[in-house]
Amino acid sequence: MNEEKLNLLDEIKKEFACGEKDVNAYSPLALAYIGDDVYDVVIRTLVVEKANRPAHELHREAVKYVKASAQAAIMDRLLEGEESGECFLSQEETDIYKRGRNAKSYTMAKNASMTDYRKATGFEAMIGYLYLSGKQSRVIEIIKHAISDLYE
């Protein structure tokens, strides 16, 4: 069987006649906006694939990974070894993360410290940047590295 490999971003751009845009022109908060949902879709997919359960149980499991404190912990893990040059992230990914982390947001997540919220925003900006750059494989690689306990 010859299956067509689906690239959601390409399909969206084609079907809705979206023009090409320079991903670097997007604000960090716009990148975080899309990155939040991309990350959420990956987590929800993993949670559903792991077990067919009632929606409230699926939601409870997903929240463990999508809340700001969890995303902040993910960034701490991803940035380990940054000073020694052994960081899992590329310099470009780290720069995008820092742009998102330092962006001035007028909202804050419930039940999250400002530090965790900013780290989570940086994480989401990086995911959004990679997604809009067409680097979905890297998005998956980063998330897989960050949350290995979910799919084991």
Decide if 113 is inside a domain: yes
User: What pLDDT was estimated at residue 5?
Assistant: 65
Decide if 6 is inside a domain: no
Asked whether residue 49 carries a pLDDT value surpassing 90, the answer given is yes
Give the number of C-alpha atoms closer than 13 A to the C-alpha of residue 135, restricted to the C-beta side: 15
Rounded to 10 deg, the angle between the 114-132 and 136-146 helix axes is 150
For residue range 5-25, what is the model confidence (pLDDT) as tens digits? 668 888 898 899 988 889 999
Rounded Cα distance between 120 and 72, Å, is: 5
Rounded Cα distance between 35 and 143, Å, is: 12
Decide if 144 is inside a domain: yes
Decide if 16 is inside a domain: no
Amino acid at 99: R
* Alpha-carbon torsion angle 144, 39, 86, 148, nearest 10: -30
User: What pLDDT was estimated at residue 3?
Assistant: 55
Report, as an integer, the average pLDDT of 43-57: 93
Decide if 99 is inside a domain: yes
Q: Which domain holds residue 96?
A: 26-151
Residue 42, domain CATH: 1.10.1520.10
Residues annotated as part of the active site: 36
What tokens does 93 get? 């990914």
Tell me which of 10 and 127 has the higher pLDDT.
127
- Mean of the per-residue pLDDT values for the chain? 90
Decide if 63 is inside a domain: yes
Number of domains in the chain: 1
What is the model's pTM? Answer: 0.90
Under a CB-based contact definition with an 8 Å cutoff, are residues 74 and 82 in contact? no
User: What pLDDT was estimated at residue 82?
Assistant: 79
Decide if 2 is inside a domain: no
For residue range 82-102, what is the model confidence (pLDDT) as tens digits? 787 888 999 999 999 999 999
Tell me which of 27 and 152 has the higher pLDDT.
27
Under a CB-based contact definition with an 8 Å cutoff, are residues 141 and 14 in contact? no
Tell me which of 26 and 84 has the higher pLDDT.
26
Decide if 93 is inside a domain: yes
